[in-house]
């Protein structure tokens, strides 16, 4: 079943990555390209779409409004594409073995909010993660809304759906990853005091409930982020991004 991606970044990156087949690209007619947008970006997308062999149609903006849901900003562009293709756990473990000490895997335990999910994927791609592993049920999937919130980052990521998260973590550990849960708890280590160099997995839990008990028990330890104010926790996507970038800092800091 094809699906409709929308938004300039999402459509541009699906064309650049070339992993999904792009059947059709719909562009808003001149003058209806959404006031927030930049005209040159649509021209660039049209060029990429041509090279990808996609059918290109200029349509009234109202047609794009009807394709996407209320509150989802298409910015004058949508693309009909094949569904997102997930990686298998075996492929993911293999990628980690190839990455060696650079392996960096984000593991998502029941993240619920598509906006948070997309934001965290965007950070993951920027921080150079090897792969994402997530549960194949009770969780957001890579929908068009997620592709949009990720600014198209999903198109460049390896994302694996696991049917048993503790077992998947075990397989990653057998491939030499040290796996931390991001979770405030009495034994948690400050994230800046942990050694995040070497093959690493980081588990981010759901917005309300954190990391599940069975998943936590399978991890090698827990990390926490200092909270200096009165609020209990950070936004889940922000927390995950901060630790991913701390890992990147430690890995690239020559002075250590």
Region binding its own copies by CB under 8 A among candidate stretches 13-21, 161-169, 173-181, 197-205 = 13-21
Strand partners, 201: 105, 179
With the C-alpha atoms ordered 194, 166, 145, 94, is the resulting torsion angle positive or negative?
A: positive
Q: Tell me how far apart the alpha carbons of residues 41 and 61 are, in angstroms, rounded to a whole number.
A: 16
Q: Which of 92, 110, 119, 183 binds its own copies (CB under 8 A)?
A: 119
Q: Which of 5, 127, 147, 172 binds its own copies (CB under 8 A)?
A: 127
Which distant-in-sequence residues (6+ apart) come within 8 Å of 222 by Cβ?
180, 181, 182, 183, 185, 187, 188, 189, 216
x/- binding map, residues 211-240, to its own copies, per CB under 8 A?
A: --------------xxxxxxxxxxx-xx--
Q: Which two tokens stand for residue 100?
A: 């060696």
Residue 33 in contact with its own copies, rule: CB under 8 A: no
Q: Which of 31, 53, 71, 186 binds its own copies (CB under 8 A)?
A: 71
- Distance of closest approach, residue 174 Cβ to its own copies, in angstroms: 26
Q: Tell me how far apart the alpha carbons of residues 162 and 167 are, in angstroms, rounded to a whole number.
A: 9
Residue 186 in contact with its own copies, rule: CB under 8 A: no
Q: What is the DSSP string of 189-202?
A: EETTTS---SSEEE
Binding site for its own copies (CB under 8 A): 9, 13, 16-17, 36, 71, 115, 119, 122-123, 125-128, 151-153, 156, 192, 208, 225-235, 237-238, 241-242, 245-246, 248-249, 252-253
């Amino acid at each position: 079943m094809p699906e409709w991606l929308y938004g300039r970044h999402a459509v541009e990156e699906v064309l650049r990555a070339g992993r999904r087949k792009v059947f059709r690209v719909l562009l808003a007619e001149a003058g209806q390209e959404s006031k927030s947008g930049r005209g040159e970006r649509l021209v660039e997308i049209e060029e990429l779409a041509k090279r990808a062999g996609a059918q290109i149609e200029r349509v009234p903006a109202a047609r794009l409004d009807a394709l996407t849901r209320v509150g989802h900003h298409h910015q004058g562009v949508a693309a009909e594409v094949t569904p997102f293709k997930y990686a298998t756990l075996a492929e993911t473990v293999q990628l980690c073995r190839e990455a060696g000490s650079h392996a960096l895997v984000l593991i998502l335990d029941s993240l619920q909010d598509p906006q948070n999910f997309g934001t965290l994927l965007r950070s993951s791609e920027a921080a150079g993660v090897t792969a994402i592993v997530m549960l194949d049920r009770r969780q957001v999937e890579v929908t068009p809304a997620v592709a949009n919130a990720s600014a198209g980052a999903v198109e460049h990521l390896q994302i694996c759906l696991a049917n048993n998260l503790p077992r998947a973590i075990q397989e990653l550990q057998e491939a030499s990853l040290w796996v931390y849960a991001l979770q405030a708890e009495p034994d948690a280590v400050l994230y800046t005091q942990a050694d995040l160099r070497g093959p690493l997995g980081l588990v981010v839990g759901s917005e309300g409930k954190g990391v599940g008990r069975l998943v936590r028990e399978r991890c090698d330890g827990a990390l926490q982020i200092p909270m200096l104010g009165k609020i209990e926790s950070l936004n889940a996507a922000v927390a995950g991004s901060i630790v991913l970038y701390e890992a990147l800092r430690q890995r690239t800091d020559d002075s250590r």
